[in-house]
Every structure is written in C-alpha cells, then in structure tokens.
Structure 1
Amino acid sequence: MSGRRILVTGATGYVGGRLAPRLVEAGHSVRVLARDPGRLRDAAWADDVEIVKGDLEVPDEVRRAVEGIDVVYHLVHAMGAGGDFAKAELLQAQHVAAAARQAGVQRIVYLSGLHPEGERLSKHLASRVAVGEALLGSGVPTIVLEAGIVIGSGSASFEMIRHLTEVLPYMPAPRWVRNFVQPIAVRDVLHYLVEAAAVSGDVHGTFDIGGPDVLRYGQVMNGYAVEAGLPQRPIAPLPVLTPWLASQWVNLVTPVPRAIAMPLIGSLLHDCVVEERRIDAIIPPPEGGLTGYRGAVRLAIARERSGDIESSWRSASAAGAPSDPLPSDPRWSGSTVFEDARERTTDASPEALWTVVEAIGGARGWYSVPLLWSLRGLADRIVGGVGLRRGRRDPDRLREGDTVDWWRVERIERGRMLRLRAEMKVPGRAWIEFSVEPVQLDSGEQGSHYRQRAIFLPSGLSGRLYWWSLVPAHQVIFEVMASRIVTVAKSGSR
C-alpha cells in the first residue's frame, strides 16, 4: 500500500534522518516532528516533507502532529541523555500512544533493541522494552522491531568498533564480551522500517530483526580489522573490567562519549541474538538477502572514506549540554556576560574568507595553538565530555545542528555568519561566533571585514573563576585564530 500519510519522530537522529527520505521515495506523504525545525533546514530532503515544530513531552503538540496521519514512526531515543532518560522516554511514548489512538492512526512502528527474555536488562535496554510495551498497549496495531548492533557509516556502534580496532594493538576486554551478538546493516534496518508502512491488517507485536551472522565481540572487532586492511587484534580478557570502567576506556580512545558508550556496552552484558524470524512472514528480507557483517563494514568504510555520511550519531545532543540559543541581548536581561572580540579587515574576498570559516574544526583544526586545544579536549573527555574527537559530518559545509568537535552549529547564514554553541563541560554557557562582511578598501578594491566573538555566560562563582583563569590563554588562542583565518583566506590556502 503506497501513498500513506506518515509521521516520523526523531528525524534529526541517525535512523530517522535516513528513513524520512526513503519513505518519500516509496511514495508516501511524510511529516516530521522536531523540537528545533532549524536543524532540518539544510537536509537534502527538507523540501520533500512537512516539518512541524513540537515536543513529545507536550501532549497538545503531539496531538496536533498526528492529526490526519495513517502511520506513526516513533524513533526517539534518549541514549546518552542525562537525567532520568527512562522516565522521559516512557512519558513521550505514552503521549504518542494516546494521541495515535485518539486520532485513529492505523499503525505505529517502533525500533527497539534485541534482548534476552527473563534476564535483568541494562537501564538502556529496559527503557526500550518499556517504551515498546507502552506503544503496544495503545490500542493501535503496532510493530516493534528489535535490532541489535546497527552497522553503518555514522552509527555509534560502528564508530566505537572502528576506533577501538584502529587505535589499539590489542583489546583489553571483560569476560562478558564472549557473549554473542547479531549485527545488522543499517540498510536492512531501513528496509524493514519502510516496508512496515505497507503492512495491512491487525499485525501487532514484537519482531526480531538481525543480519545473517552471529558473532562474538572479538569476531566483530577482527571482522572490521580485515575489511580495513589491519592486522587482527588479540582480545585480552580482564575479569575486573566492569561496564563502567569499559565505558571510561571507550570514552578516552574513541569519539563516542561516555554517556553513549555506557548503554552500548551495557547491551553487551547479554546474548543479543535473533530468537525468532516471524518477521519473514510479514516483511520478506531484502531482494538479494540480508547483508553480512563484513559486507556492512565494507560499505560503511567506503562511505566514511568518501565523506558521504548521510546521518550520524553526532546529531544527538551531548548529555547535559545546554540547548538554549544565545540570548539576543543577555546583558539587557541582567545576565553576566564575558566576551572576547577580535576584528580584522583584509583584501581577501568575502567568498574566500567564508570558505575558511565554514571549514573550521575537524581535521583542519582551529587555526590556533593546537597543543592547547588538544589539552582542553583531553580534559573534557576525562570528565565525560565530548572532547575534540567528534569532528564534522562534512569537511567543507555545515548546516544547523551539525557538530564541530565540542561545538554544535546553532545558526548559520551561509556566506555571512556562523554561530557555534559549546557542548563541552563548562560552568556556564558558551558560544563562538564568526561573521564576514564585504567592505570597500581604501584602495577602492573590495575586501572583507572579519569579526570573531567568544561569548560566555557564567554559572555562579565557578563560572566566573573559570573565565578569569583562562583570560591569558584566550589572549593567545583567539588572537592567533583571527590572524590565521584571515591569512589563510588571503593566501587562498585551506
């Protein structure tokens, strides 16, 4: 059945960001719900869907979003979120369930996690089970797809496997990593999700989905090594390496922060394998069969190397990171504001200057004292922050919601202004803003005016002490940054 009216929640996330355009391609009319629609403004498929602003924790906004909808995809997860994420996830699911029932929605589809029956689950997996049960109890026919490790370019699982394998000559690991897992390629997850919209009748329940390979953790690591052309890594079992300690290790040697690593590792405490294949009678496997683990790794590596990453785990906000935008006039509202402002006028063209600004961060760095940036990034990782390893989605272009190391793009006016909001651990809220304006030079030629602002709104005494302690370093870092950006733009070098 084609031409259905579909609502996708979680479209700014890893799976939702890939599902929405595929539903459009399948002939459906797609609406996406987002707390911040600006994060979808630059998505390649934004003009093909209806984007509505709303918060799943506000019942009235959920009800408005499901009006006139046939199928609801609930793809919102709070992995890595701070606070009582399980309570928040359950509340959101209850609002979706109630609104779907009231609006006469014909089907709900939810992506959950593989888990064993009758065992005590990690908090992350237990929350997914609770959400699935809330949706199944909605009175609306519901399909809950339970998947294990999802392998694809930009997935948190793949990033963790990739960096651990590439960085370490051997992998210290707890004994519980001898448990079995059944990875699934993201393309196969999307196949089941897309086809679920066409399932008719009263199909209702949970269904396991997984790839064709059942592997131990060591085989997962070394499967990546083979496809990446690396020597296979010996696994060294350590009985004292708890999930908490393992997450600290992952936090230090991979871009995946501790808040996300913890639930991923927690899911390894159990055998997470497909126990039934009832899904085959409802949604047949993809034409040509399911993708094997090494095939999925091969595809992900190719995407990573080409820079063609459709969506990424980095899209998720860091746990505890502030999400409020920069106030239009924080001083007027009575806030204490610290600011470091630098300006330059250059004969570099506005286009050349903007090209350098938009490409900042990631592999190109920050044009200023790399050692100091690295030390600050390491300190952030030690305390559980995101550090500098998240990098960028694209080396040249940014869009709202993208990550740039420990920053997130809050606002971009291409060619004119870029504002980044800090997601590192700081006692306050911080932004850095770059602007480019064309000017006429004394010579009569056209040049550019460059402005750079670092803004900090401290929280209490600790925030003030933090800023004052960094003033000497800021004098060097921000001065060098402004000078180098203008110099690179002028030389035409990147």
Structure 2
Amino acid sequence: MADPGTETRRLVLVTGATGYIGGRLVPELLDAGYQVRCMARSPEKLRDHPWRPQVEVARGDVVSGAGLKEALSGVRVAYYLVHSMGGGAGFGDRDLEGASAFARAAADAGIERIVYLGGLAPGRARLSAHMASRSEVGAVFLRGEVPAVVLRAAVIIGSGSASFEMLRYLTERLPVMTTPRWVRSRVQPIAIRDVLRLLIRADSLPEGTNRIIDIGGPDVLTYADMVRRYARIAGLRPRLIIPLPMLSPGLSSMWVGLVTPVPPKVARPLVESLRHDAVVGNAHDQEADDLSPGGELGFDRAVELAIRRTSEAQVDTRWSSATGPALPSDPLPGDPDWSGGSTYVDERSQRVVARAMNLWRVVEAIGGENGWYSWPLAWAARGWIDLAVGGVGAHRGRRDRRYLRVGDSVDFWRVEEVIPGELLRLRAEMRLPGRAWLELRVERDHPADEGPNTSVYRQRALFRPIGLLGHLYWAVVTPLHGVVFGSMVRGISKQAERLERMDIHDPPPNDDVN
C-alpha cells in the first residue's frame, strides 16, 4: 500500500462520520491530502461541521445495504467506524449484519483495504456483549475478501469520548467514591490524537496486510490510578476510592447514570468492558512497530489537552463558541450534550431601540468608573469577598475609560477577546471553584423587523465547575444571577437608548442607571 504522501487526493470513505471518532478523523484525513467521502444515514447531521464543504457526502445504511454501492464507488480505502453502544435488544446481530453487508459491498467495489477500530480486550476472557460484538465485527472483516486492518484500543482520552467523559464526571463530582472491583483492572489508555494518527497510518502498511493490531499509549494504569491522576491534573483534592466487590456492572451503570450525565445505556457497556485488563499485546511485532513508531502522548498530557488545562503557549486555553475545535481532543458539533464536561449558562437578550454603534459604546465602556449597569453594591460586595479570600478584588478598574483591547483588566475580569462593534468576552480572575466567562454581543437588527435604529443585545455568563464545590457554588449563586444579570441587560439597554436620544459619542457615567 502506497504511503499517502506519494499519491495525493486518494479517495477514502469514512462511515460513522457523525460519531466521535469519524467526526474527528475526517479533518485529519483532509490535512493529510486525502479526498474524503462521508457516508451517513442522516447526512444533515454533518452540516454544522466546519469541514463539511470540503467532503463528498453519501446517504447510506450499512444494515440495510441501501446506498453502499454508490458510497464505495471509486474508493481505495474504507474506514468502518460504525458500532452500537448497547443499543437495545439485538444490537449485536445488527452490528454483524452491517459489517457483513459492508464487507460484501467493499469486495464488489474492488476496495483495497478496510480499516476498523475495535475495542481492546483479552482473548480468553468472557467478554461483555458490547466488547464481544466489536470483536465479532473485526473477525467479519478479517475473514472477508478485502484485506482489513483491525485496530483495537482501550480507553480513548479526549473530550467527547464516552469512556473519558465517565472518568471526568466521576472524578469531578465525587470526592469519595465507592466502586466495584473493576477499578483495579489494568488499562492502557490512548489519546484521541494518537488514535487518529494511527488510523491514517494504517493506510501505509504493506499491501495485503490482514490482521489485528492493538494500540495504546505509553502508560498502563488501573482505573483507580486514572481517577487519582485526573484529579491531580484538574486541580482537585485527592479522591478517596473505596472498592465494593458486591457492586455488579448493572448496579454500577445505574450509579454512574445517577452521578453523571452519561446515560445508563451508554455507561453499562463501558462499565462491563472494564471488568478485564485491556493492555496492548503486540510485543516484538514488526507491523505494530511500523504503525506506531513512538511519540504517543502519555495519560497526563492527554488529559491536559482534553480538559484544556495547560500553560503551553501553542495550546489555546480560552473558552470558544462553537467555531470549530482547535484540537482533536475538543468537543465537536454533534457530540452528545453531556460531552465536554459541565458548563452552566445564564443567557439573556433584549432588543434595544438604539443603533448598534451606540449599544457597542456602552458595552465597551463597561466596568471601572462606568460600573456594571446593575446593582452597584452587589458588584462591590463581590469584589470585597474576592479580596478577603486572596483574590484580585475589583480595585484594578480599567486601563482606558472608553476602549478595550485583549489582555486588559476590567475590575476582576480579563479581556479575552474583542471584535469591535460585535463581541466582548471577559474571563473571570476572581477566586472561584471553576472557570467563568462573561460574553457581551451586539447584533444589528434587520431593518424590515424593527427599523434601522434598533439592535439586539445578547449576554451570556458561562461557568465550568471544578469539583463538587463548583456545582454547589453555581446552585447557590443562580438566584442572585437572575437579579444581577437581568438588571444588567436592562441597564445596558437603557444606557444605549439614552445615548441614541442624545446622539452623542462619549457615554457618560451611568450613575442614574439601575
């Protein structure tokens, strides 16, 4: 099989492009010079991905076989990334039917190679239904006419990975946890960026390669080890883990579903798959060495990237508003609502009888001497509390009374992003059990709606809790947010309308605005 660098624009098919791995593999393939066709039962689910205009999209269903012939036409390599997460009765049979239909269609189309990502599990153990199904699917491809590379991975570390999200939520929400015996199972986790790299490198293996290759990162850990190391990396207090042997996988999955937002139907197959060790078994394997020549990320670094907690300059640690991830370890459009960790949002908006330019002047002048356009005593009290607990307080004010630039301090906030006339994003620097942002947006109204002298003000407060204390903090302050942030929307709107009536360019202090 030729190296992808020697033959540009090789056409590959990605099934499961709406899923966790597939959605992240597509942009990596594009960057590597491939031409990509995505097959999905519901192609409309791909519309929000930033790479959508760069790929072909085919409607197809591996179980029914509908659209397979058209999707595979002209394809050299097919990535099969379809599987069920314990999706109801008979899911194993459906997985086998889909793999068998795809293998036959790939042979008819003259495909050179199928690449499949399965789960890493010991060969002699009694596997869970989920792991057994993934193993059987891999066997279907290995028995087929088209040569197949079956990669097997254990826990994948990246935001959006169900295994990682379960680890994230359990660790962040439970200072003390009672767990079943599987916390002692040995696991070889792997970073999502390494999984993607190895999936692409599978195309460079010798022609005719037809075999299983286990992949994993450099660390072999127990689940308890992963919990403790995650807590340290996330800045949490050490977690106390108390194993209880009598907890069955069923009870464990119900408990996970109660404590975390990961649905029990997803948690159960994950929990069951952790009953056994999942360690790479490719010792002294030449083809495995060719596929993975080193450079894999360790567990700690993979977690840092997944939770965006790093001090390295090349990694963007800012909160970003769904404009497409900077890293494969970030959440993607189409990921489950529960992926990416907890983010609490207070969102408000109001139509303002003022031009966008006047509304923006008010927004950009916020804080410092101009105040926060709502409950001055409440904002001052928050600054006093912050000082009392060792924070920066609100005494820093502003560099300039009217204009802001990225990096400026505004009381106990820091300017993270400014798009003149449109967006101001502030990151909290007060002492908090989490990370917080305040985002202020100005939008121009369509003249046909309200007239040329109207605009829309949108305000979002976001909070990402750290640990159980962070969740409790948000629950306590939420009622106060309803008063303070609601009053802030009204105060900013009134000040902008006042400027509009006065038709001036220098907003005065808002002493009379409440």
TM over 0.5: yes
User: Percent sequence identity over matched residues?
Assistant: 44
C-alpha distance 262-121 of structure 1, shift in aligned 2 (>3 A): same
Match of 1:183 in 2: 189
Alignment of 1:88 with 2:88, yes or no, is no
- Output the CA distance in 2 between the equivalents of 1:151 and 1:63: 34
Match of 1:16 in 2: 22
Alignment of 1:57 with 2:42, yes or no, is no
Match of 1:235 in 2: 241
Alignment of 1:315 with 2:334, yes or no, is yes
Match of 1:113 in 2: 119
- 1:73-120 CA-partner distances (Å, limit 9, x unpaired): 000121153342212211111111010011110000000001111221
Q: Larger Rg: 1 or 2?
A: 2
C-alpha contact 1:113 1:125 (8 A) present in aligned 2: yes
The 5 Å alignment of 1:459-474 reads none
- Output the CA distance in 2 between the equivalents of 1:77 and 1:260: 12
- CA-CA distance at 1:486 after TM superposition: 9.6
- Output the CA distance in 2 between the equivalents of 1:185 and 1:147: 10
- 1:387-408 CA-partner distances (Å, limit 9, x unpaired): xxxxxxxxxxxxxxxxxxxxxx
Any gaps of 5 or more consecutive residues in structure 1?
A: 319-343, 353-414, 417-435, 449-482
- CA-CA distance at 1:232 after TM superposition: 1.8
- CA-CA distance at 1:155 after TM superposition: 1.5
Alignment of 1:275 with 2:281, yes or no, is yes
Q: Give the aligned residue type for 2:115.
A: V
Query: For the aligned residues, what is the CA RMSD?
Result: 3.6
Q: Look up the SS of the partner of 1:236 in the other structure.
A: strand
Alignment of 1:29 with 2:41, yes or no, is no
Any gaps of 5 or more consecutive residues in structure 2?
A: 310-315, 320-324, 338-349, 360-441, 457-485, 497-514
- CA-CA distance at 1:345 after TM superposition: 8.1
* TM-score using structure 1 length: 0.65
- 1:42-79 CA-partner distances (Å, limit 9, x unpaired): 31211221111222223241111111111010001211
C-alpha distance 31-250 of structure 1, shift in aligned 2 (>3 A): same
C-alpha distance 490-241 of structure 1, shift in aligned 2 (>3 A): farther
- Output the CA distance in 2 between the equivalents of 1:200 and 1:17: 27
Q: For 2:318, which of 297, 306, 313 is the aligned residue?
A: 306
Q: For 1:100, which of 94, 103, 106 is the aligned residue?
A: 106
* TM-score using structure 2 length: 0.62
Q: Give the aligned residue type for 2:334.
A: S
C-alpha distance 316-297 of structure 1, shift in aligned 2 (>3 A): closer
Match of 2:256 in 1: 250
Match of 1:150 in 2: 156
Q: For 2:179, which of 169, 173, 178 is the aligned residue?
A: 173
Q: Give the aligned residue type for 2:160.
A: G
C-alpha contact 1:153 1:300 (8 A) present in aligned 2: yes
- CA-CA distance at 1:312 after TM superposition: 4.3
- Output the CA distance in 2 between the equivalents of 1:207 and 1:251: 33
- Output the CA distance in 1 between the equivalents of 2:122 and 2:494: 60
- 1:131-171 CA-partner distances (Å, limit 9, x unpaired): 11111122111000010000012222221111111111112
- Output the CA distance in 2 between the equivalents of 1:129 and 1:199: 21
- CA-CA distance at 1:283 after TM superposition: 5.3
C-alpha distance 188-346 of structure 1, shift in aligned 2 (>3 A): same
C-alpha distance 256-106 of structure 1, shift in aligned 2 (>3 A): same
C-alpha distance 270-286 of structure 1, shift in aligned 2 (>3 A): closer
Q: Give the aligned residue type for 1:222.
A: R
